[in-house]
Amino acid sequence: MLYYLFKYLQELGVPGSGLFNFISFRSGMAVITSLLITLIFGKRFIAYMRRRQIGESVRDLYLDGQKQKTGTPTMGGIMIIAAIIIPVLLFAELSNTYILLLLFTTLWLGAVGFADDYIKVFKKNKDGLNSRAKLAAQIFLGIVVGLAIYLSPDTLASACPLKTTLPFVKDNEFDYSRIAWFVDSDQYPWVGWIIFIAVVTFIITAVSNGANMTDGLDGLASGTSAVSAATLLVFAYLSGNVIFSQYLKIMYLPGIGELVVFTSAFIGATIGFLWYNAYPAQIFMGDTGSLTIGGIIAVIAILVRKELLIPIFCGIFLIENISVMAQVWYFKRTLKKYGCGMHLFLMAPLHHHYQKKGIPEPKIVARFIIVAIILAVVSVITLKIR
């Protein structure tokens, strides 16, 4: 909103109003505003949730330090969502297709997560929202995102509606329609679109659930998400800049630079939330936050055509997901083979395995974030390693 106000003031010749033309200035204002929202209003929000006794019921009480977490306010994802949306509405160009798509993603997954938390907290149903309903919501979002990218004037202008970037490859543009090599893409263009939609849906579901799995220790999900978002901010800025994209020989995406403002607000919101979520947590984000931040990271990665790098810069989410799947697979396999189910890890997701080994929670979180930073650096240098 302020973007359009200052654009009007610039037309009137008001000195200084031209600052809002610069993405760097608006992204800086977005990160500061999101930080202030979480830091100033977070304390009041936590106090309100305590008064209403809207607290977490921790199941794994046999883990060290978990018992004391029972009753800690949850649904802190509301703080994160508010701290993202308000700065974006103030400083972003709201006519930008990518911004509108991310606002929809934030509100949609926020609503899904809120419904899940509401059922757990108020209805006293520990299972929360039906898993099929969650999956249906994620599939719907995947279809919306895929359609928006494919039909957007911005992506059509770049002549790459179905293209992505292959890491570590010199000629690194890849068209999803090439997967269906046995079909004439000119005669049946919808085949490529279906493949693209399927990939987008899978990525959104996987990353969103990965963030949900990671949200098990104080500050872990918010800290690693901020690192992943910082990586995407670099990609968005470079892909939206004609000079840098030509120099690095990466795909130039018109209008994508505006995502720097959104991503800055996202980073500010997660870091601001970390202020209260760091050990010992004063509030948990709940599914309202974890599903939302995972979905946002996935959609930004898809928009900047770096979704194939997700296994690297979202490596923490990936390993958490894999640890759960491996644990279930191994248990079922040994149960069938020996009649007694055995565990691959002491406990899954992986962060609980280290917790069971007696490593203090803050040390686990710090080490996971360090690993996330290393993976983020590796992701950025793939721009030159081909």
- Give pLDDT tens digits for 188-215: 666 778 888 899 999 999 999 999 999 9
Mean pLDDT of 157-172: 74
In a domain, residue 369? The reply is: no
What 8-state DSSP symbol labels residue 282?
S
CA dist 258 → 53, 165, 262 (Å) = 40, 20, 7
Residue 231 counted as domain residue: yes
* 60 pLDDT tier (thresholds 50, 70, 90): low
Average pLDDT for residues 313-321, to the nearest whole number?
Answer: 95
Residue 364: inside a domain, yes or no? no
Task: State what percent of residues in the chain have pLDDT above 70.
Answer: 91
pLDDT at 52 over 60: yes
Asked which of 180-184, 291-295, 328-332, 344-348 is least confident by mean pLDDT, the reply is 180-184
Question: What pLDDT, in 10s, does the model give residues 228-259?
Answer: 999 999 999 999 999 998 888 888 888 899 99
Separation between Cα atoms, residue 185 and residue 65, nearest integer Å: 57
From start to end of the chain, where are the E strands? Answer: 163-165, 173-175
Burial of 44 (0-12, 13-18, 19+ CB in 10 A): exposed
* Contact between residue 108 and residue 141 where contact means Cβ atoms under 8 Å apart: yes
pLDDT at 339: 84
- Whether 362 is in a domain gets the answer no
Per-residue pLDDT band for 156 (boundaries 50, 70, 90) equals: very low
Residue 184 pLDDT greater than 90, yes or no = no
Looking at per-residue confidence, does 123 or 184 come out higher? 123
- The rounded distance, in Å, linking the Cα atoms of 303 and 295 is 12
Contact of 58 with 284, CB cutoff 8 Å: no
Residue 28 located in a structural domain: yes
In a domain? residue 63: yes
Number of helical (H) and strand (E) elements in the chain, helices listed first: 15, 2
| Residue 81 pLDDT class (50, 70, 90 cuts) | very high
Strand partners, 164: 174
Residues 6+ apart with CB under 8 A from 175: 162, 163, 192
Q: What is the mean pLDDT of residues 126-150?
A: 88
Share of the chain above pLDDT 90, in %: 60
Q: Which domain holds residue 84?
A: 23-310
User: 343 pLDDT exceeds 80?
Assistant: yes
Q: What is the mean pLDDT of the chain?
A: 88
Model pLDDT, residue 228: 96
Residue with the bigger pLDDT between 159 and 248: it is 248
Task: Summarize the confidence of residues 67-91 as an average pLDDT.
Answer: 88
Could you tell me if residue 326 is inside a domain? Answer: no
The mean pLDDT value for 113-126 works out to: 88
User: For residue 88, how far is the Cα from the chain centroid?
Assistant: 16
**Number of domains making up the chain:** 1
- Half-sphere exposure (Cβ direction) of 231: Cα atoms closer than 13 Å: 30
Is residue 317 included in any domain, yes or no? no
- Around Cβ 280, how many Cβ atoms within 10 Å? 13
